[in-house]
Amino acid sequence: MTEMKKCLITGCGGFIGSNLADFLLQKGLNVYGFVNNNTEALEELKGSIHIIQQDILDKRGMQSVIKEVRPDYVFHLAALSNIPLSWAEPEKTINTNVIGTLNLLDAIKTADINPVIEITGSSSEYGNSGTSAPLPEHHPLNPS
């Protein structure tokens, strides 16, 4: 019997992360979700998902969990994506979005694994394009 594929979702407690977790569970995948604090969106999935309290800024913690889980797929959704708040708290935004991503990628490298990695962006990077969704990947950026 083949082992179920493992998916890791950072930012799993958010709207997109919780819905992605539900989708992946329905596809028969083994789901691990990093949450920082909020698990309310995951209430219905608590018996089916491995919820891990993990701050992506905790480099050693990230390395330990990645080494233990050894995911086949990583969906990196943990970020501060609100543009006005990013201007109000630039250091926090840079730390979370850049250093947090670096910690994740470094933990994957240290664990010597080669998962498929999906790093998401925000629709805010396109601004009000005047075009209906979905936008093509080559659409010009116009952060709002």
CATH 3.40.50.720 fits 6-122, yes or no: yes
- Residue 144 has a pLDDT of 64
With 90 as the cut, is the pLDDT of residue 142 above it? Answer: no
- 77, 117 Cβ separation under 8 angstroms: no
Higher per-residue pLDDT: 128 or 116: 116
**pLDDT (tens digit per residue) in 1-27:** 568 899 999 999 888 999 999 999 999
Cβ burial, residue 52 (10 Å; 0-12/13-18/19+)? middle
Cβ burial, residue 62 (10 Å; 0-12/13-18/19+)? buried
Q: Binning pLDDT at 50, 70 and 90, where does residue 139 land?
A: confident
Which residues neighbour 63 within 8 Å (Cβ) at sequence distance 6 or greater? Answer: 106, 107, 110, 111
CA distance 122 to 43: 25
**pLDDT (tens digit per residue) in 48-98:** 999 999 999 999 999 999 999 999 999 999 998 888 888 999 999 999 999
